[in-house]
């Protein structure tokens, strides 16, 4: 009887194990379109017989589902998180540099370069008709348009820089939220694995945590390690973002830089969207604003130096053409709007036909005035700014494209190992179904055997 009941146990164990396997296959198929889902498989183990039995040999007591495991790719996942962080960094920089290019709007008929050309041309026209009031007013208006273009460009870049403060604060908030959620998942995963007696007790929670790690990698670079209980420990630089004690918060200090809340130490980031925003705000935009201020300074200093030496038709002299000391404050002297005759064209007073000063100002378009000794014109200085911006933008875009190619390669590798294939799942499903049916057949056979033994044996002689 014990042999028959052992056979019954074998059939029941196979039935239950294959039912578990069918459930797992169904879960895989249900999540075939779920992003970053990693397929799962049941791990079968033999149910062995009593230990120490030598004669007669024990064949075993069936099978059981020892656990469910995800087909993970730890190395590929680590590389993928790194590349996602790099790609997010370059993509964010590329988008922001595109905004800078749109603000400076070069080449165009309304940009700074066109306004500079129009300004120099207005002075050139004035050398032809120095006594004509409309020509003098055209010089003043061309200067006003140039100053306005510089002011608007500086204002837009300044507004963009201020807007990055808001974006940085938002990214820091997202990092803190993700860190807290990962810390909570750590607690739940450790608890579930302890109750299950292994690492298969919290697969959906681990799947969710992996998704959060990928999301976090796009915001900031970090390193991660896992212990035997399933807890993930995250570090940025030499400081833990998430550890056994939970999540450590990041805040913004008085300089709007991220720092650890409890340590008052700056968070060192090198990739991800947060790093791109910080670099654009503190370095890139600051650099372009400084160069616009330098351009405005070179323009005002050189034009004013000549203009103060000259005389207008009304005898006015020692007047600055431009007021202001940077791109955000540059403007034409309002005295010249009220009296275009005060625009200095002559090197000597009471010389209506003298155009010496006007000619020298017009020649600034081609005369090197920047450097020691002077080697660069004002126009060339601005062209170098635009060229540097274009080169940086192209370099960042190329880096973005390169990072995307690496991501595509890694995702293909990850998908090949852990992605769900409908054909493969159907094959497994058919195999488990056949095994389930065979297990049920074993139980039916044992049932018939028991029926024969219990109900049909011992009837002779009654």
The tens-digit pLDDT sequence of the chain (462 residues) is 467 877 888 889 999 999 999 999 999 999 999 888 889 999 898 887 655 555 555 667 888 888 888 888 889 999 999 999 999 999 999 999 999 999 998 888 889 999 999 999 999 999 999 989 999 999 999 999 999 999 999 999 999 999 999 999 999 999 999 999 999 999 999 888 888 766 666 888 998 999 999 999 999 999 999 988 889 999 998 899 999 889 999 999 988 999 998 888 899 999 999 999 999 999 999 999 999 999 999 999 999 999 999 999 988 999 999 999 899 999 999 999 999 999 999 988 877 778 999 999 999 999 999 988 999 999 999 999 999 999 999 999 999 999 999 999 999 999 888 889 999 999 999 999 999 999 999 889 888 888 888 887 766 555
Write down the pTM of the prediction.
Answer: 0.87
Q: Can you point out the beta strands (E) in 76-226?
A: 223-226
Peptide bond into 113 cis (omega under 30): no
Q: What is the pLDDT of residue 363?
A: 95
DSSP, residue by residue, 71-101: ---HHHHHHHHHHHHHHHHHHHHHHHHHHHH
Cα 68 to Cα 27, 64, 203, distances in angstroms:
12, 11, 8
φ, ψ of residue 43 to 5 degrees: the values are: -100, 115
Residue 459 backbone phi and psi in degrees, to 5: -85, -25
What integer pLDDT is reported at residue 67 of this predicted model?
A: 83
Alpha carbons 186 and 192: distance in angstroms, whole number: 10
Q: Are 361 and 126 in contact (CB under 8 A)?
A: no
CA dist list (Å): 66 to 13, 16, 444: 12, 12, 25
- Bridge partner residues of 44 (DSSP): 65
Of the chain, the end-to-end C-alpha distance in Å amounts to 23
d(Cα 46, Cα 66) in Å, to the nearest integer? Answer: 9
Q: What are phi and psi of 226, to 5 degrees?
A: -125, 140
Regarding beta strands 250-252 and 246-247, do their DSSP bridges make them parallel or antiparallel, or are they unpaired?
unpaired
pLDDT score for 174:
97
Cα 16–Cα 20–Cα 21 angle in degrees, nearest 5: 120
Distance CA 342, CA 456 (A): 130
């Amino acid at each position: 009887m014990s042999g028959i009941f052992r056979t019954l146990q074998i059939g029941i164990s196979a039935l239950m194990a294959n039912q578990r396997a069918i459930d797992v296959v169904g879960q895989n198929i249900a999540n075939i379109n779920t992003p970053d889902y990693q397929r799962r498989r049941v791990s079968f183990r033999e149910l062995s017989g009593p230990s120490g039995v030598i004669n007669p040999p024990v064949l075993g007591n069936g099978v059981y589902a020892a656990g469910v495991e995800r087909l993970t790719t730890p190395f590929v996942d680590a590389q993928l998180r790194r590349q996602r962080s790099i790609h997010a960094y370059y993509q964010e920089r590329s988008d922001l540099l595109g905004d800078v290019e749109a603000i400076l709007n070069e080449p165009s008929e309304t940009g700074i370069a066109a306004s500079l050309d129009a300004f120099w041309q207005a002075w050139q026209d004035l050398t032809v008709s120095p006594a004509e009031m409309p020509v003098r007013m055209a010089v003043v208006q061309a200067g006003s348009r140039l100053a306005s273009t510089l002011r608007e460009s500086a204002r837009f870049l300044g507004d963009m820089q201020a807007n990055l403060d808001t974006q940085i604060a938002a990214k820091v908030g997202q990092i803190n939220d993700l860190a807290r959620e990962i810390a909570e998942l750590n607690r739940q995963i450790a608890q579930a694995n302890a109750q299950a007696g292994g690492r298969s007790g919290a697969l959906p929670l681990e799947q969710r945590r992996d998704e959060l790690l990928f999301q976090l990698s796009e915001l900031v670079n970090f390193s991660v390690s896992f212990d035997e209980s399933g807890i993930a420990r995250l570090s940025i630089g030499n400081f833990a973002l998430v550890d056994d004690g939970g999540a450590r918060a990041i805040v913004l200090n008085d300089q709007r830089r991220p720092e650890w809340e409890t340590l008052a130490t700056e968070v060192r980031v090198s990739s991800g969207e947060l790093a791109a925003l910080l670099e654009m705000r503190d370095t890139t935009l600051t650099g372009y604003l400084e160069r616009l201020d330098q351009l405005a300074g070179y323009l005002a200093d050189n034009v004013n130096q000549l203009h103060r030496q000259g005389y207008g038709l009304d005898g006015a002299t020692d007047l600055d053409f431009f007021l202001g000391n940077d791109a955000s404050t540059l403007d034409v002297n309002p005295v010249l709007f009220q009296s275009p005759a005060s625009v200095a064209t002559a090197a000597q007073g009471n010389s209506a036909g003298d155009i010496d000063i006007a000619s020298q100002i017009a020649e600034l378009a081609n005369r090197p005035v920047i450097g020691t000794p002077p080697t660069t014109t004002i126009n060339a200085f601005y062209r170098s700014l635009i060229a540097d911006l274009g080169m940086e933008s192209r370099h960042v875009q190329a880096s973005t494209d390169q990072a995307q190619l690496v991501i595509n390669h890694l995702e293909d590798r990850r998908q090949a190992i852990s992605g769900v294939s409908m054909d493969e799942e159907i094959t497994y499903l058919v195999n488990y179904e056949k095994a389930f049916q065979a297990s049920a057949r074993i139980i039916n056979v044992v049932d018939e055997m028991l029926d024969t033994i219990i109900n049909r044996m011992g009837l002779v002689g009654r």
